[in-house]
Amino acid sequence: MKIKKKATIVRLKSAGLFKTTAFGLAISFLTAACAPTETPKETISENDFYTQRAALIAKYSKTDNVFSALRAQIAPSDPASHQYWQWRVDQYLYGQYPEYQQIYDGFKEGKKFENIYPLVKEDLGPKKTLPDALPKLPKGHFTENLPGNPHRGWQYLDGDTLYITYQGKLTDPYVASYNLVTQEWKGPFKVAESTLSKGDRKIDSHGRPIIEMDTQGYLHIVYGGHGGEREDGLNPLSIDTPHAGGRMLHVVSKKPYDISEFKYVDDITPFASYTKSYKMGNGDIYLFTRAGTHKSPWVYYKMPAGTKRFEKPVIITWPTPQSDEPINVDTFYINPLKISDTEIAISFLWHECNFLEIHDKETYARINAYYMRLDTTSGLFYNAQGENIDLPVTINVANDKMLAFNSTDKEETPFGTSPVILKSGQPAVAYEARTKAYREWRMAAFNNGQWQHSLPMPGTVNRTLKDEENKSISNILDLVVLGTPSGKHTAVTVYRDANGTTYFSTVESSNGTDWKVVNAHLALDNTRIQMEAIKDDAGLNIGVILNIKKGAAQRLYLWHDGEFQRPGQLASTGVDGATDATLFHESFENGGWNAASPRGFTPGLDNSLAKNFMFNQLQTDSAFSLEQSIVRSGDYSAKLYWKHKTPASYNGDPQKNR
């Protein structure tokens, strides 16, 4: 597929003065540009900058026809078009040829983005207006309404505590924890601020937060990225300019195992998009992300065990402009999966993008399926054949060494991929095959030295499902087997019947193939239900997280121990609509209490604590005690008792809070 060259549809405001370079582009600058706030170690004058820039473009244009392709997009009579394509050329030169970075950085010192590129405001909106009344969803959720969020959160299980992050109101990151044994919740808490969908910007699902715990118990959350912000300047890791908005940010908990407070860590690129992370057997954490927008490399960051910062990124793939049509760029979408304590498998597909930012059904191609794996003990990548793969991976290397399924001449078009863990240990890749007739997940597996494609997904061969009335169900959307089978298999499944009703049900099987519904928990019309398994340390599924969407209503649910689990202040049965329950927060997290003006009987009063309690008419030695089994938020609540003997002897005794 080739994209025809088109005149740019970008219309930008003209501002500032212009200076023509040997490249033929008009370079803008403002005579009133802000002076540097502090003297840089080495600045580059305006004339030197233009001279050196023009020389580099002339040098690389001899073998790189991207420059002429970008120049061809300029509308000669439109100064704003010159401004826009100057920015695009600068970013290409900055990312593709790092020697330009020092030159540009010296020139931009003390200047804001709009001083160099006075472009019109980005058009990243508007938000969709929510209806006055949302469609009814079942109670049992643990989130507020999440419009425009296709994800099922991200999770980390530490012992009996499950940590869940998700993209909440205005795409800010939220976190909650749930104890599998006591069924107690903490949170949800808002972790930090996102720049992704503020103001009039549309809700963007790319900022989904992920969570990992380091070896010291500190929780790390990375969130919010879809290309960065213009004011962040040029991206040193990409040939592509930001055009979707939203900084990727990293925060770490202030205390181990504590989700109530986080602080920022400046160690990852703000331009990144997409995130996945895994903690290996030795405690190292690997964060995978795309280092910018579409035409950007994929990288990984490593946080060594015992530290709280990521190291510099390792570039995995590199985008490649097509030699015959340089306006088009061959790049990838990757998806990593931890397959052992020392290995991460990576599946990916080929994405043909373009510098014109035309992303429609004809040009938004996602093609083929590829496979490689990272050995984290050595830092080396291998293909299915066991051959070492040098980085970065380009389209030619991928096609030659890692191609698992060539879809270019097939009816099936992969839209997403995922590594598959098979009992045999052989490499395998799942891909979402799309045709005019169906849309389903299929698999390519490496057998006897070669790849075989269009295989059924594991566990689906001859699989059957019957509902409570013994009617056969053909449209099984997902099925997760719970625990270890012991004669009888138990699972939860999402399926859709012939009438279009979507069900979430518990099912059982005696052989792991023929399933029967034993309890239909949800039956919803015109509703999408997505399900993701929660795995314990042994790899067994112990529950699921559901994303349930009906029109503009959308919430997350946790299914564990045979029912929906939800923070205590939220009812667990019935149906609700658009109103979220009010959150109440007690003030006993310091193991006691102190009032602004204590009076009456005051057992448990601790003057060393912050004044955080209003009502203090407490009596007797048992009038105040801490409670951990019934808690709305945080670690503690208080039990209050009323008696009428001689409580005054306990006044002000802080030990009476134990």
Domain match, 427 and 497 both: no
Which residue did the predictor score with more confidence, 244 or 61?
61
Domain match, 299 and 152 both: yes
Residue 276, domain CATH: 2.115.10.20
Residue 129, in any domain of the structure: no
Res. 278 pLDDT band, cuts 50 70 90? very high
What's the confidence (pLDDT) of residue 570?
47
Counting Cα atoms < 13 Å in the Cβ hemisphere of 118 gives 17
Residue 289, in any domain of the structure: yes
What's the confidence (pLDDT) of residue 496?
97
Mean pLDDT score of the chain, rounded to an integer? Answer: 85
Domain match, 201 and 297 both: yes
Domain of residue 647, residue span = 584-658
Which residue did the predictor score with more confidence, 468 or 411?
468
What's the confidence (pLDDT) of residue 2?
47
Per-residue pLDDT of 108-163, as tens digits, reads 999 999 999 999 888 888 888 888 899 999 999 999 999 887 788 899 999 999 99
Asked whether 368 and 349 are in contact (CB, 8 A), the reply is yes
In this prediction, residues 391-411 reach a mean pLDDT of 94
Residue 556, in any domain of the structure: yes
Number of domains in the chain: 5
Catalytic center residues: 206, 274
SS3 410: coil
pTM of the model: 0.81
Domain match, 606 and 515 both: no
Res. 586 pLDDT band, cuts 50 70 90? very low
Domain match, 481 and 618 both: no
Q: Which of 146-150, 292-296, 354-358, 459-463 has the lowest mean pLDDT?
A: 146-150
Q: Which helix (H) or strand (E) holds 557?
A: strand 553-560
What's the confidence (pLDDT) of residue 618?
53
Q: Mention every residue, 6+ apart, whose C-beta is less than 8 A from residue 657.
A: 588, 591, 592, 593, 604, 606, 624, 625, 626
Residue 80, in any domain of the structure: yes
Domain match, 486 and 607 both: no
pLDDT > 60? residue 619: no
In this prediction, residues 199-213 reach a mean pLDDT of 92
Domain match, 202 and 351 both: no
Residue 579, in any domain of the structure: no
Domain match, 50 and 105 both: yes
Q: Are strands 464-466 and 514-525 parallel, antiparallel or unpaired?
A: parallel
Amino acid in the structure at residue 481? V
Per-residue pLDDT of 13-32, as tens digits, reads 333 333 333 333 333 322 22
What's the confidence (pLDDT) of residue 435?
79
Counting Cα atoms < 13 Å in the Cβ hemisphere of 590 gives 15
Which residue did the predictor score with more confidence, 456 or 651?
456
Counting Cα atoms < 13 Å in the Cβ hemisphere of 197 gives 23
Residue 140, in any domain of the structure: no
Domain match, 172 and 97 both: no
pLDDT > 50? residue 243: yes
In sequence order, what E strands does 102-143 have?
137-138
Q: Which of 292, 315, 338 represents a domain boundary (last residue)?
A: 315
Q: Is the dihedral of CA 440, 446, 452, 455 positive or negative?
A: negative
Res. 617 pLDDT band, cuts 50 70 90? low
Domain match, 289 and 179 both: yes
Residue 593, in any domain of the structure: yes
Residue 136, in any domain of the structure: no
Q: Which of 76, 94, 116 represents a domain boundary (last residue)?
A: 116
pLDDT > 90? residue 98: yes
Asked whether 500 and 526 are in contact (CB, 8 A), the reply is yes
Q: Which of 283, 315, 347 represents a domain boundary (last residue)?
A: 315
Domain match, 338 and 446 both: yes
Q: Are strands 380-382 and 173-179 parallel, antiparallel or unpaired?
A: unpaired
**Rounded Cα–Cα distance for residues 93 and 236 (Å):** 10
**Rounded Cα–Cα distance for residues 370 and 368 (Å):** 7
**Rounded Cα–Cα distance for residues 154 and 129 (Å):** 27
Domain match, 450 and 464 both: no
